[in-house]
Structure 1
Amino acid sequence: MASLFENNRNYVLGDNELNLIGDRDKLAQWRHKGMGPAFYRLGRKIIYRGADLNAWAEANRVDPAKAGRD
């Protein structure tokens, strides 16, 4: 599995790397709906672990070569 994010890094809202999966508003919508990558809420601060972001991205990977071959 290729890593889009550094596994040993924590990402906070405002980090440009998070724009890869969605802007600040989209991430807020996902958190409100219980969707998206796992996160920590420490007071008002939202923190995403790189390993969690990579796991979420891998779980949402689409391989067109295998689509429709169930």
Structure 2
Amino acid sequence: MAIFDQDRIFFSEDPEMRIFGSVEKLAQWRHRSRGPAFIRIGRRIAYHGTDLNAYLSAQRTDPNGEAA
């Protein structure tokens, strides 16, 4: 299941990005080499929808311990 549009580029300040927390939190993740893959466009940071969906899928935890 895809939460983000696969073919869209999202910016940190987009409302859809609030699922990850604040803009500052995303900046901290980038600084610590954590979080979803990102694209630097000049001084702006962008995220591809495919990368956001892949990151969310990787964070999935099954409380029953079954394979995803």
* TM-score, with structure 2 as normaliser: 0.91
* Partner SS for 2:36: coil
1:51 shift after superposition: 0.3
Report which of the two structures shows the higher radius of gyration computed on alpha carbons. Answer: 1
Q: CA RMSD in A?
A: 1.1
Point out 4+ residue stretches in structure 1 off by more than 6 angstroms: none
SS in 2 for 1:64: coil
Note the C-alpha offset of 1:14. 1.1
Which runs of 5 or more residues in structure 1 are unaligned? none
Q: CA deviation at 1:58?
A: 0.2
SS of the residue 1:54 aligns to: helix
Cα distance in 1, alignment partners of residues 50 and 22 from structure 2: 19
Percentage of matched positions with identical amino acids: 45
TM-score for both structures, normalised by structure 1: 0.89
Q: Which residue of 1 aligns with 2:53?
A: 54
- Counterpart amino acid of 1:56? Y
In structure 1, what residue type is equivalent to 2:16? E
1:1-70 to 2 correspondence within 5 Å? Answer: 2-66=1-65
Q: Count residues with an aligned counterpart.
A: 66
SS at match of 1:6: coil
